[in-house]
Amino acid sequence: MKQRFLKGITFFFISSAIFVSCDNSKSDLDLDLEESKDTTVITTDDTPQISYAVPTPNELFEIVKLLGGELNIELVNSLDNKNKYVDLKSKALNFGVYSADIGYMSCFENGIAFLKYTKVLENLGNELGISDVFDKTLMDRIESNEENFDSLFHISNETYYDSYLYLEENKKGQELSLIIIGGYVESVFIISNLVEEYSNTNPIIEKIGDQHLVLDNIIDFCSQYADESAVAEALSDIMKLQSIFEDNMDFVESNPEGENGPEIDGVATFASKGSFTMNENTFNLVKEEVINLRNKITQK
């Protein structure tokens, strides 16, 4: 399982390696982040493949929470929109959107709508061929933990990860690609709209800048399925955001010699040569484009 997980595109759904719970202390979280930050793992099997250890949407929201982010329930996609999603593309994209919304609400301890949103995910999942993920056991767990926000956070993370594995195992790359894109757009939409004005000392803005590398990985993965028109269209949309990141962010060099990083479970890693930082222009452009992307996905 571990080899398959690394061999797959773990940049978005990795949960077992650096899983973070909403009741963890800040010091524990910082330690986990330091161990996984800017790490490229090279896996070797028949074909070498690269995996990037970065947070899931749930983990991203937890980081943002510790950095001072707050719950704004108006940012999640309304359930009133659910009947708009009738084709595969809109169903898969908004499966990703609603999944990210559930992670956000559970992390910020709003369990009121959790069950309603999960049932919408169940319906979309059934229509996308992920019915095995949403069995009676899962729904019973949610109902019995309705007031236990930490458990809901765990459940939402597990459901996201289980959906990924199911789609991967059943060779549903088109659906998986669209779900990844939808979840990514919703996550960046939420965190960017938690910031009203740019400040170069705001740590949440730094986390928004980190999503540049996540987006690169998503595009690399989804490009495998670009022969599907729905994926090609979604890729074209998010590549506009990629261009904004690439053309406007400031690069700060930190490892000019390109020294190797530490081994992880006997696998070679490569230390980052630097990082991209957000400036005010980039932040405003990213925020504007993510709002446009999100509206296009959810307001179909």
How many H-runs (helices) and E-runs (strands) does the chain carry? Answer: 11, 5
Tell me the average pLDDT of the chain. 77
**Residue 170's pLDDT band (boundaries 50, 70, 90)?**
confident
Instruction: Assess if residue 68 is contained within a domain.
Output: yes
Number of structural domains found in the chain: 1
Domain-located, residue 78: yes
In a domain, 50, yes or no: no
Q: What is the pLDDT of residue 242?
A: 96
* pLDDT of 256 strictly over 60: no
pLDDT interval class at 90 (50, 70, 90): very high
pLDDT of residue 288: 97
pTM: 0.77
Q: For residues 174 and 150, what is the distance between their CA atoms, to the nearest angstrom?
A: 32
**Would you call 124 helix, strand, or coil by DSSP?**
helix
Q: Which H or E element spans position 40?
A: strand 40-43
Stated as kind and residue range, the H or E segment containing 51 is strand 49-52
Whether 260 is covered by a domain: the verdict is no
Inside any domain, residue 6: no
Angle (deg, nearest 10), helices 203-222 and 173-192: 170
Q: Residues 208-255: pLDDT tens digits? A: 998 998 899 899 989 999 999 999 999 999 999 999 999 998 877 765
Report, as an integer, the average pLDDT of 155-162.
Answer: 80
Select the highest-mean-pLDDT range: 34-38, 117-121, 242-246: 242-246
User: How would you class 164 by CB atoms within 10 Å of its CB: exposed for 0-12, middle for 13-18, buried for 19 or more?
Assistant: buried
Cα separation, 54 vs 14, in Å, equals 7
> Is residue 44 situated within a structural domain?
no
Q: Is 143 helix (H, G, I), strand (E, B) or coil?
A: helix
Q: How far is CA 172 from CA 18, 62, 65, 118, 225, in A?
A: 26, 29, 33, 21, 10
Identify the residue with better confidence: 61 or 51.
61
Q: How far apart are the first and last CA of the chain?
A: 37
Looking at residue 80, the DSSP 8-state letter turns out to be G
- 16: amino acid identity, one letter: S
Across the range 10-34, mean pLDDT stands at 39
Alpha helices for 128-199 (secondary structure H): 136-144, 149-169, 173-192
Listed in sequence order, the residues at least 6 apart from 273 whose beta carbon sits closer than 8 Å to its beta carbon are: 253, 254, 255, 256, 258
Q: DSSP secondary-structure letter at 33?
A: H
Domain assignment present for residue 23? The answer is: no
The mean per-residue pLDDT over the stretch 165-170 comes to: 84
CB atoms within 10 A of CB 193: 15
Domain that holds residue 120: 58-254+274-298
* 276-300 residue pLDDT tens: 788 999 999 999 999 999 999 999 7
Task: Confirm whether 242 is domain-assigned.
Answer: yes
